[in-house]
């Protein structure tokens, strides 16, 4: 056989082989999509060890996935792109309704809620006083800082303030501090993270309804056994001190089992009316 003929045979073989879908060969790799709350690098930094641990624990193969921004992420999970996904509670409702994603674990140690802050010496003492005033919010769909407050302002308090979306929580606080807005919406976590110069000069006016925080949810196409395996793995990790540290970074202070019913309260809030598409 001539050399060139040999080369041709090999090439053809290789191409044919590469055309075979990958799942046929090795084991299945499960994609885990993480809401782009932080930038990609940070997300990777947090989740890569966790996935590794998961792989160790489950013997399954996981792949981290994500999207550049939240709207994309929403599109992706609405299309069922991810096998597993970490998302905020509101997303869960949407994902559940569209694809049937079900939560398996969540942080059971804390509750998710928003706070409304005003300048320390502000004359405003009641939410009602914010009617028609300018309120700074990070982004319209930020769950705790914006979505829940906005829904409540309308449904619960019947006020119609003006909103300005100032990109970040810190920005919100600064806007309030520097008198650019009457009040701002954020979350306790980010508020606590502010410099004393900032936080000492602000006052929390109001705390919203508290809901269950972000779950890890699985797509219905995944075998319930597999789901269970993953769930167990997570729970196991939560018990281990070393792994718990990893999980805290998600952030999941205290990982526990999550049920769909945990999120009923949220569902009933009617957030989807205020969700900005």
- Residue (of 206, 200, 218) closest to 258 by Cα position: 218
Of 164, 193, 231, 248, the one binding other proteins by CB under 8 A: 164
Query: Least distance (Å) from other proteins to the CB of residue 135?
Result: 11
Choose between 137 and 266: whose C-beta lies nearer to other proteins. 137
Task: Give 29's strand partners.
Answer: 61
180 binds other proteins (CB under 8 A): yes
197 sits near other proteins (criterion: CB under 8 A)? yes
Q: In the complex, what is the shortest distance from the CB of residue 196 to other proteins, in angstroms, rounded to a whole number?
A: 11
Nearer to other proteins, 113 or 173 (CB): 173
| CA–CA distance, 268 with 272 (Å, rounded to integer) | 10
Could you say whether residue 198 binds other proteins (CB under 8 A)? yes
**Residue 173: strand pairing partners:** none
**Does 193 sit near other proteins (CB under 8 A)?**
no
Q: Rule CB under 8 A: say whether 91 interacts with other proteins.
A: no
State how far the Cα of 63 lies from the Cα of 65, in Å rounded to an integer. Answer: 6
Distances (CA, A) of 120 to 137, 176, 201: 18, 10, 5
The sign of the dihedral angle between the CA atoms of 105, 109, 113, 119 is negative
Q: Does 136 bind other proteins (CB under 8 A)?
A: yes
Instruction: Give the angle subtended at the CA of 179 by the CAs of 175 and 181, to the nearest 5°.
Output: 60
Beta-bridge mates of residue 135: 163, 183
Contact 258, 105 (CB under 8 A): yes
Q: Point out which span in 90-98, 100-108, 159-167, 229-237 binds other proteins (CB under 8 A).
A: 159-167
Interface segment toward other proteins; rule CB under 8 A; list 109-117, 158-166, 216-224, 268-276: 158-166
- Verify binding: residue 219, other proteins, rule CB under 8 A: no
Chain positions contacting other proteins, by CB under 8 A: 136, 164-175, 177-180, 197-198
């Amino acid at each position: 056989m001539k050399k060139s003929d040999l080369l041709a045979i090999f090439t053809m073989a290789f191409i044919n082989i590469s055309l075979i879908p990958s799942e046929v060969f090795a084991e299945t790799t499960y994609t885990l999509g993480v809401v782009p709350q932080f930038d990609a690098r940070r997300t990777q930094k947090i989740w890569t060890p966790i996935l590794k641990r998961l792989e160790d624990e489950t013997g399954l193969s996981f792949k981290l996935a994500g999207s550049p921004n939240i709207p994309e992420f929403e599109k992706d999970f609405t299309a069922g792109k991810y096998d597993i996904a970490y998302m905020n509670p509101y997303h869960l409702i949407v994902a559940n309704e569209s694809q049937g994603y079900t939560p398996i674990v969540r942080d059971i140690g804390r509750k998710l809620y928003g706070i409304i802050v005003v300048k320390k010496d502000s004359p405003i003492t009641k939410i009602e006083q914010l009617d028609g005033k300018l309120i700074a919010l990070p982004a319209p769909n930020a769950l705790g800082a914006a979505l829940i407050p906005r829904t409540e302002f309308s449904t619960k308090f019947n006020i119609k303030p003006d909103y300005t979306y100032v990109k970040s929580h810190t920005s919100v606080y600064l806007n309030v501090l520097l008198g650019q807005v009457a009040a701002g919406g954020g979350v306790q976590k980010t508020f606590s993270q502010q410099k004393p110069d900032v936080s000492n000069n602000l006052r929390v006016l109001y705390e919203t309804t508290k809901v269950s925080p972000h779950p890890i949810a699985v797509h219905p196409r995944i075998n319930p056994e597999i789901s269970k395996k993953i769930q167990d793995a997570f729970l196991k990790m939560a018990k281990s001190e070393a792994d718990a540290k990893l999980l805290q970074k998600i952030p999941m202070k205290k990982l526990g089992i999550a049920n769909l019913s945990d999120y009923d309260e949220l569902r009933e809030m009617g957030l989807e009316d205020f969700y900005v598409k």
